Structure 1
Amino acid sequence: MTEAIVATDTTRRPHSGGHGAAREPDEPVVTSSRRIRRSPVIVDDNSSVTSHSSYHIAQSPTDRPIWLEMKRRHQANMEELHGKLADVPRHWLFIRFLNNSFFARRLMRSGMLLSAALAGGVIFYSAFVETWLDDHKDSDEYDDCHSLASFSNLIYQTLPAAIILSLPGSGLRAFEPFKRNALNARKAESKSDDASDNDATLEEEPASGSVATIRRCFVFQLCEVLAVFMLFFDIGLVMYFLYVLFIGALNSCGSVATQIFTIGAAFCYFGLFTVLYYFARYREHIKMQLGAFMENDQTGDLRKYVDLRSDKKLDTDKKMLDVIRTRLYHATRRGDVHELREILEYAKERGLMKGESGFPRTFYATPKIRWKFFARSTENPVHIAAGLGNIRALEILEEYGFDLTVLDKVQRVVISTGGFFWHFIQVIVKRPEGSDAESADSIFHTNLYTPLHCAVATGQLAAVRWLLERGVPPGTLAH
């Protein structure tokens, strides 16, 4: 199809150069009122009708196809975004958002087909199967057909679950998997003269490689729990099927309507696994698109959103340290060195580094393994920074007195609906490679590592060299 270069008002839409780059305002812009028709590379004599229609579309703005008009209306303004997330519709994400995920389309298609089949089965049961059972209560085949129909009817009763599990791929914001939060950019604010030194230190920090923080929506967490229960329900149906097979109901029932009803239930049973498969794939795809490659990156710990300087509930050292621990952990995971230094400065101002709490040396001491199995992670940011190879974060942590040789539990059991979901759903869906690198399969699996171990395991040679230069002993064994 031929393309048309449309000259528009520069105040409404920015002109684009190569690869979508915004054109500088001082560059001359062609403002011809006539649209330029781009010549085709190959001319075919048999395409006169197509060429005429393409020329008509290029010359007449009122006769454009609907999809071209929708594309023009929904194009994001490059000058207003500047690297920020685009504004999204309030209630429903349009088709262009759904096309961003292959698994969203597959989830919707499989969910709609399964829902239609289940709804058809419910109608078929009321119209034919139930009528036949009422008319043949005194028949010898009644017990076998009733058992077979009851088993099949259980599968068709999963219609509400099939609809709910397919809704996250529909684009409805109420069933959106993750909340879209802007990047954690630190805005410059005017402060008092007493904080001028701290501001100067923060401004000297290089640009952090922070990523967008995401949180799972509550409705989507309910969908995760529902998916696990549906998996258990499907496994329970296997037991029921063995019972029906054992009593010989499959061969003894002579009702054609019941047999058709059962065959349809068998297809719907495998359709349930298909919906569960695409639900899990869609969840991981969207999560990784938003930058959360590990399960811990999107677990909703509310303490990482607490404002240290304005929250009045942090009236004790223990409450402050719990929030500081969580904030430091997630700031290091994001590589946000600005927030990392800001949190440590807050702890220093509050006197936590000189008090009885022993922050950070005693606070991040090596955890004890109890009963040879259990140990609780201290969420040491040094191990996270070493594993990510963030030298600047390691320098800041060393500056504030963190121990570079301490042991900590790196792999932890994720206690959340997401961890609960993957613990069972991986029976039928293979987990993405590397997404469970920091998750332990069992609370009985406990290993303690040093930051040097973490850097070596992830291949961060610069971090390994930096730690060895600081005198970290390479011979420390993991526990």
Structure 2
Amino acid sequence: MAHANYEELHATPSELHDTLVEKKPNGDGEVCRQISPTTAASRLNNLVVERPSSQPQANDQTPQKYYRSEPRELPPHFLGSVYASNSYFAKRLCVALYCVTLLDITGVLAFWWRTTPITEGGLYVVDVQRSLMFQPSKCSGGDEEFCTVCSTIVVYAMLVYHMLPCVILIGLPATGIRACAPFKYQDRRHGEGKLKTTRTLFFQVCEFVSSGILMFNILVIFIARGYVVGCKLLRVQLFSFGAVLSFFGVIVEITYFARFREHVKMQLGAFKERDQTGNVRSRISQKRSRYKSERTRITDDIRKQLYKETELGNLRAIENVLTYAKIRLGDDFADDMYRNASIRCGLFGKSMKNPMHVAANQGSIRAMDALVTSGFYVNSYDKVSRVRFSTGDMFWHIARYVISNPVVSSEQAATSIFKTTLVTPLHCAVATGQTNAVRWLLDHGADPNAKSKSSYWSDRVPPLFVADSSEIVKMLLEAGANHLEIPDPGRMNTLTVLQLAYLRGNIPVAREIEKWGGDVALTPLHEAAGANDATAERS
């Protein structure tokens, strides 16, 4: 079946109407009738091919072209050491790889070179399964050759040495081998123009393996605590000491792997985790789209394109998508597609990808005006911080307990599978300091006292509590924001906005609130009076 595509969404309104409507002459003139979706999609595709080059494109401004010499082609198979200098951590990751690999090879050879059992002067353990469980007591005397703890220590040290394939795997992205490259550029679906950064399949395997190594090392630390020195055999102590060095060497290697990953990712322009992808969800959605109805596919395409174009600030493209949505889904499409997001079971919520929140976050007044004209609401709720499931996120969820992340974005810090917060566009504009957007939203009926909805009581706050600008605070107060409100009285968040401003050290905001009668010595009576709650005042 035919479905919506990007070229359809970027046709002009007149082209869309003429393409979706068929005119037939009769005795009284021309009669218009709606054509089938299959025929419409075919005509729209032909329309894009036949469009003259002089017709304006989707963007408001055509980017200026700069002519420069062609970049030098990269070597097809191996980049060499020159390219490693583009990252601070490529050489360090390679050095860690070589050192740990040499140490692991030595340990593996020491264990397998001569299969002489540990009871006969070697390091080989015959009954590995029995030795995997520690005995309740260490060796205290007797024949050390037959001590069970010695066998157990050798077995666990052997497991550390045998992480050699994984050690080599996670170090290959820094070696310059093109087949092991961590990232690549890929054209977006439907020809959206802007390239997206994608993690290669090999690099996703490296992230998965790194997560497994960290979990294994944590398990070894938990089990082997204090038993490394429980055996008095010199050969076992040397063998286990090498395993300890390898153990911490792997931690160092994974640290450089994480630093190398972040540095290269940001060099490619993907500053946040959501700016790069592994294409897992895209592959799944492509397979699932085969079983969707025609209307569902059109709705999904409109939702995705409208969100993306609003994020990019392409006003012309936004208007075209809105026009297309009205033609295909009706004038009230926003009511059906963008209902208020809700929290299920008090924990989970799903983002509706409402473009109003994106436009407010970026301060795009023209985009908000176009959206409101098309039926979007200024007081709608949506989930802004979304939870992703990828090998990269899994890696950082585990690595954060071992590796410190130098800078964590507010979006990443607020993301949790058990934390859902729904906000209004006014929350987004206030939090990002978009003064003009805040004024526009208030002029168009935004509620300055609308609390966010959250699975956490402490996050249920009105826009005034996320304001960092005294000018925005003044606008909210002039619009009727309650500066005496306590978001969560008697529970976790019992601070007024004035107390919060002093705790944050934001003196300009505190001074502005004081002008409106704010006081740090407020009581529940003041809160009830500020909310015009006569019943609470009497009680």
* Bin of the TM-score, shorter chain as denominator length: 0.5 to 0.7
Look up the match of 1:115: 101
C-alpha distance 303-158 of structure 1, shift in aligned 2 (>3 A): closer
Look up the match of 2:353: 379
Q: Deviations over 1:122-165 (max 9, x none)?
A: 1233347x536262489642333322211211110111111111
**Is the contact between residue 120 and residue 145 of structure 2 (CA under 8 Å) also seen in structure 1?**
no
1:295 pairs with one of 273, 279, 300: 273
C-alpha distance 473-168 of structure 1, shift in aligned 2 (>3 A): same
Look up the match of 2:224: 241
Look up the match of 1:142: 146
**Is the contact between residue 332 and residue 381 of structure 1 (CA under 8 Å) also seen in structure 2?**
yes
- Structure 1 residue 364, shift from structure 2 partner: 1.1
CA distance in 1 between partners of 2:191 and 2:370 (Å): 17
1:131 pairs with one of 109, 116, 128: 116
Look up the match of 1:214: 197
Q: Deviations over 1:157-212 (max 9, x none)?
A: 1111111111122222322222223699989xxxxxxxxxxxxxxxxxxxxxx964
Give the match's secondary structure for 1:180. Answer: strand
Matches within 5 A, 1:27-46: none
331-340 vs 139-148, which moves further: 331-340
C-alpha distance 238-276 of structure 1, shift in aligned 2 (>3 A): same
**Is the contact between residue 387 and residue 451 of structure 1 (CA under 8 Å) also seen in structure 2?**
yes
C-alpha distance 226-260 of structure 1, shift in aligned 2 (>3 A): same
CA distance in 1 between partners of 2:143 and 2:254 (Å): 40
**Is the contact between residue 161 and residue 226 of structure 1 (CA under 8 Å) also seen in structure 2?**
yes
Matches within 5 A, 1:226-375: 226-242=209-225, 245=227, 250-254=229-233, 256-300=234-278, 316-337=294-315, 339-349=317-327, 351-354=328-331, 358-375=332-349
- Structure 1 residue 429, shift from structure 2 partner: 1.8
Aligned partner letter, 2:219 = G
Aligned partner letter, 1:266 = V
CA distance in 1 between partners of 2:426 and 2:73 (Å): 43
Aligned partner letter, 2:173 = P
459-468 vs 226-235, which moves further: 459-468
Look up the match of 1:159: 164
C-alpha distance 221-451 of structure 1, shift in aligned 2 (>3 A): same
Give the match's secondary structure for 1:291. Answer: coil
C-alpha distance 181-370 of structure 1, shift in aligned 2 (>3 A): closer
Look up the match of 1:471: 445
Q: Deviations over 1:409-447 (max 9, x none)?
A: 112221222222222111112234343515644332121
- Structure 1 residue 369, shift from structure 2 partner: 1.9
CA distance in 2 between partners of 1:304 and 1:344 (Å): 24
Give the match's secondary structure for 2:198. Answer: strand
Mapped pair 1:181 → 2:160: no
- Structure 1 residue 315, shift from structure 2 partner: 5.2
Give the match's secondary structure for 2:89. Answer: helix
* TM-score under structure 2 length normalisation: 0.60
C-alpha distance 252-278 of structure 1, shift in aligned 2 (>3 A): closer
**Is the contact between residue 98 and residue 104 of structure 1 (CA under 8 Å) also seen in structure 2?**
yes
Mapped pair 1:394 → 2:368: yes
Gaps of 5+ in 2: 1-65, 123-141, 454-539
C-alpha distance 98-284 of structure 1, shift in aligned 2 (>3 A): same
Look up the match of 1:99: 85
Q: Deviations over 1:54-108 (max 9, x none)?
A: xxxxxxxxxxxxxxxxxxxxxxx97245xxx875444333434322111222222
- Structure 1 residue 232, shift from structure 2 partner: 0.8
CA distance in 2 between partners of 1:296 and 1:271 (Å): 30
Aligned partner letter, 1:268 = S
2:68 pairs with one of 73, 76, 79: 79
CA distance in 1 between partners of 2:242 and 2:281 (Å): 49
Q: Deviations over 1:374-423 (max 9, x none)?
A: 22111112212222334444344345433232111112221222222222
Aligned partner letter, 1:324 = I
C-alpha distance 108-389 of structure 1, shift in aligned 2 (>3 A): farther
Look up the match of 2:391: 417
**Is the contact between residue 228 and residue 424 of structure 1 (CA under 8 Å) also seen in structure 2?**
yes
- Structure 1 residue 340, shift from structure 2 partner: 4.0
Aligned partner letter, 1:146 = S
Matches within 5 A, 1:43-62: none
C-alpha distance 379-352 of structure 1, shift in aligned 2 (>3 A): same
**Is the contact between residue 211 and residue 334 of structure 1 (CA under 8 Å) also seen in structure 2?**
no
- Structure 1 residue 221, shift from structure 2 partner: 1.3
CA distance in 2 between partners of 1:475 and 1:282 (Å): 45
**Is the contact between residue 411 and residue 439 of structure 1 (CA under 8 Å) also seen in structure 2?**
no
- Report sequence identity in percent: 35
Give the match's secondary structure for 2:337. Answer: coil
Give the match's secondary structure for 1:476. Answer: coil
Look up the match of 1:66: none
Q: Deviations over 1:221-269 (max 9, x none)?
A: 1211111111110011113313x71xxx724332x32221111111111
**Is the contact between residue 160 and residue 243 of structure 2 (CA under 8 Å) also seen in structure 1?**
yes
**Is the contact between residue 175 and residue 219 of structure 1 (CA under 8 Å) also seen in structure 2?**
yes
**Is the contact between residue 303 and residue 323 of structure 1 (CA under 8 Å) also seen in structure 2?**
no
CA distance in 2 between partners of 1:399 and 1:304 (Å): 32
Give the match's secondary structure for 2:333. Answer: coil
CA distance in 2 between partners of 1:92 and 1:324 (Å): 42
Gaps of 5+ in 1: 1-76, 188-209
C-alpha distance 425-312 of structure 1, shift in aligned 2 (>3 A): closer
CA distance in 2 between partners of 1:239 and 1:174 (Å): 37
* TM-score under structure 1 length normalisation: 0.67
If asked which structure has higher relative contact order (CA below 8 Å, sep 6+), I would say 1
- Structure 1 residue 328, shift from structure 2 partner: 3.0
Q: Deviations over 1:282-313 (max 9, x none)?
A: 2222222222222222234578799x9xx998
CA distance in 1 between partners of 2:370 and 2:76 (Å): 41
401-410 vs 384-393, which moves further: 384-393
**Is the contact between residue 387 and residue 460 of structure 1 (CA under 8 Å) also seen in structure 2?**
yes
Give the total of aligned pairs: 366
C-alpha distance 303-80 of structure 1, shift in aligned 2 (>3 A): farther
